[in-house]
Amino acid sequence: MQRKIIPSKNCSNFKVPDSQGFNRTRFSVRKQGRSFGRFENVLPGRHNALNALAVIAVLDRLGVPPEVMAGGLREFAGVKRRQEVRGTVNGITVIDDFAHHPTAVQETLAALKAAYAGRRLVAVFEPRTNSSRRKVFQDRYAAAFGDADLVLVREPEGLAKIPEEERFSAAQLVAELQNRGGDAYYFPDTRKILAYLQEEAASGDVIAVLSNGGFDNIHQRLLAQLAGMA
């Protein structure tokens, strides 16, 4: 008989102090209609709960007891570049995330908005991949930043290598976000983003840097700048 392990509808962020400074995600799992266990994950968001659920299903197949799974998941510290807190200075938290395509951007921002409830969420986005530098996702990106309170978009590098009619437009994305009522700004380079954040970032802000690359080391440069070291 096929075995089914599914998440219950009870999946929410709750306040548990941890090393990364945000709220963990707690969720319940049912197996064949019966309660299987309650779990908590340091990574916020429904998509991370579903990732954990896949691991739980495999471990159950291997005969690992639910309580052992729960203990291991509770101690899991996360991975680099997935909602990774790079540092907090003067009450401003800087997060690094690999999100770059529209679905990843949307899910990541939704998770951070819930995890850091009540704080301003600033999304700093660098379109860097071959697909994100093309207009294939131009329209979809406009719907991906709804959970951000402020969006800063950098002009992609290397556009000269892409046929003009295929290029993604950061300026157009910002215009579309503004038309939707969002607070969004376009920047030609990383230096100007840092200059803007120096003036506008405030205690309590959560700054999520979204890029699949190094983004000119913006994370450490920003932290140093906020600490008065740059």
**Threshold 0.75, pTM exceeds:** no
Q: Where are the alpha helices (DSSP H) in 62-201?
A: 66-75, 102-115, 138-142, 170-179, 190-200
If you average pLDDT over residues 143-162, what whole number do you get?
90
If you average pLDDT over residues 138-163, what whole number do you get?
90
User: In the prediction, which pLDDT does 174 show?
Assistant: 96
Give the model's confidence band at 14: pLDDT under 50 very low, under 70 low, under 90 confident, else very high. Answer: very low
Question: 100 and 212 in contact (C-beta within 8 Å)?
Answer: yes
pLDDT above 90 (res 6): no
Report which of residues 5 and 49 the model is more confident about: 49
pLDDT above 70 (res 204): yes
Any idea which of 21-35, 48-62, 147-161 has the lowest mean pLDDT?
Answer: 21-35
pLDDT above 50 (res 166): yes
Distance CA 4, CA 2 (A): 7
Residue found under tokens 């799974």: 69
CATH for 84-226 is 3.90.190.20
Q: What is the mean pLDDT of the chain?
A: 84
Give the model's confidence band at 23: pLDDT under 50 very low, under 70 low, under 90 confident, else very high. Answer: low
58's enclosing H/E stretch is helix 46-61
The percentage of residues in the chain with a pLDDT greater than 70, rounded to a whole number, is 86
pLDDT above 70 (res 73): yes
User: In the prediction, which pLDDT does 130 show?
Assistant: 65
Q: Where are the domains of the chain?
A: 5-75, 84-226
